[in-house]
Amino acid sequence: MKKRSLFLFPFLILTFTSLAQSEQCGITTFINNIKKSNPELYAKIKQNEKEYEKKVRESNITFVSDKNSYESKKFNHRNGGLSSIQSLCGYNNSYFGVGAAPTVLGGSLVANNIYGGDYITVTNMIAGRTYRISTCGNNDFDTQITVYTSGGTTCVAFNDDLCQNNQAEIYFTPFTTGNYDILLDEYDCQSTFIVSTNLIVELDYTPDPIITIPVVVHVVWNSTTQNISDAQINSQINVLNQDFRRTNTSISSAPIPFKGFSTDMRYQFCLAQQDPNGYPTNGITRTFTNKTLFDIPSGDSSIWFSSLGGQDSWDRTKYLNIWVCNLPGIPNPGLIGVGTFPWLGLAVPAIDGVVADYQAFGTMGTAVAPTNLGKNITHEVGHYLGLRHIWGDEANCAGSDSCFDTPNQTISSSGTPTFPFTDVCSPNYPGIMFNNFMDYSDDISKNMFTFFQFVRTDAAIRNGGIRASLATSPGCIPSTGFYENNFNDFFTIFPNPSRGKFIITQQKLINNPVMEIINVLGEVLYSSKLKDTKTEINLSIPPGIYLVKVSSEHNFVIRKMIID
């Protein structure tokens, strides 16, 4: 058996600074301490990250007409823009014309010489497709774009000054297929009568197939309270499926200037139905531990290793591993979750996945407010798929999450901010995107990802990305391996009869097998985990007939054993 010990992971000696919010994600400090304690490993991680960023920029799902302007757009937007408007533009513009939404990737509908105060109707915009609605590249007047459902019933998107020269742009992914009215105004929701400009509607993305990611949840518990129920685990999987498919009911409360940039990430999750050996599983492992706390901030790496009181991961190339345990984060501010970036997991495979506090997981049972709606895990899985914190983890507006459709902000949010919420980095309306899953607002406030956050995750899992193998993992497919009667073939006792010394042999190591010796009264006299294909047992028990029971998560077999 491979030996593992703490000295292999000196970078896990972490020190968390005190923050005001009740939620802390440990990934930033995690990597900063690698930098200090293991420069060689840090260099490897940074090289992986560099290659990942290159893959993001080579993405073929966006920047169809303007790939080279990414940096300049991001720089302008992330310095806050120039808008001081405090509300959306009303539906009171004049009709300019009508046109069909483009249907070919990179195709566009262009309204030439449109004035501020006019609107165009775009027909048959398809749900799930992403359209770039833009005046970028023009310099005729300070533009604003507002999108309504046709007829003005509902405002669905708004932007002012995403681009240079006070121009507007929206990456709009409709919730429903239909006709939409796109209003063009001069700042501040005014009409122009002398100067006109061009408005473009370009098809930038057509949906890729949905990817289903197999999940294994490792419950590592010391008290019965920490041994959370299957129902609580399933509640968290449900939240992930809603949040990453934009079917969460809370998206309806997203502020319109942000909601118009929201998107369907096109990932869904299942509890694994087969384990790494191809055997049936419910996607949950349960491990009792003598450890009362997994103090990752103090350098405790044991959660990742069975030999240290935690649980070894399943194959990281086929499963998203989530460990649920007692972390030092609740009730006091501190660590309640860690999610490894793709480039970090590639460098240190044993820790790849998500670790969560048992009180910040799911929507029932032990989950406690303000982290009782499952958004902590949505946030950490965001890191796992390549997303950074929305404020960029640097002060004084210097940080970037490398997504130009998320406004810059000074530090993480906390509590339940009221829209519009501004800071020195984004001092103007609509302020910071505190409702983004990658911020630190309370669960009740978080409700969306943006299109360019999707672009970053797409680079992780499609087209040969670091996590591409998850897309073809069989983990969500019901097992065709041994089951019920076939299970008998994998378990033998030799010699039998014996004098109490015998060998239990598995033809193939199954998932978490437990062996019990039971007398004729049904009493369990001996119990042990079988960690190898061959296990020698030496018992001192009276002569007689006994039962040997070997069980896995879904199967068991009982054999008669004679002691003479």
**Contact status, residue 363 vs residue 377, Cβ threshold 8 Å:** no
Residue 427 DSSP one-character state: -
Locate tokens 């069909």: which residue? Answer: 100
Tell me the C-alpha distance between 122 and 114, whole Å: 14
Q: Using CA atoms, how far apart are residues 20 and 350, in angstroms rounded to an integer?
A: 32
CB atoms within 10 A of CB 450: 27
Q: Is 161 left (phi over 0), alpha (psi -120 to 50) or beta?
A: left
Cis peptide before 495 (omega within 30 of 0): yes
Ordered alpha helix ranges (H), 153-221: none
- Mark 201-237 as b/e (b = at least 16 C-beta within 10 Å): bbbbbeeeeebbbbbbbbbbbbeeebbbeeebbbbbb
Would you call 53 helix, strand, or coil by DSSP?
Answer: helix
Round to whole Å and give the CA distance between 208 and 137: 29
Task: Clarify whether 380 is annotated catalytic.
Answer: yes
Question: Contact, 179 vs 101, CB < 8 A?
Answer: no
CA-to-CA distance for 45 and 344, rounded, in angstroms?
A: 6
Q: Hey, what are 164's tokens?
A: 């240079």
Return the exposure string of 276-302: e unless at least 16 CB atoms fall within 10 Å of the residue's CB, then b.
bbebbbbbbbbbebebeebbbbebbbb
CA distance 63 to 195: 28
Exposed, middle or buried by CB within 10 Å (0-12, 13-18, 19+), for 126? middle
Element (H, E) at 102: none
Give me the phi and psi of 107, to 5 degrees please.
-70, 160
203, β-bridge pairs = 131
User: β-strand 491-494 against 501-506: which pairing, if any?
Assistant: antiparallel
Residue 338 makes CB contacts below 8 A (sequence gap 6+) with 25, 26, 27, 30, 296, 354, 355, 380
Q: Between β-strands 108-115 and 143-149, what pairing exists: parallel, antiparallel or unpaired? A: unpaired
Sheet containing strand 534-538, edge to edge, reads 491-494, 501-506, 534-538
* Residues 401 and 346 sit within 8 Å (Cβ to Cβ): no
Look at residue 273 and give its three-state secondary structure: coil
Reduce the DSSP state of residue 101 to 3 states and report it: coil
Q: Which residues contact 47 (CB under 8 A, 6 or more apart)?
A: none
Catalytic residue among 23, 49, 202, 380: 380
Query: Which residues are marked as active site?
Result: 380
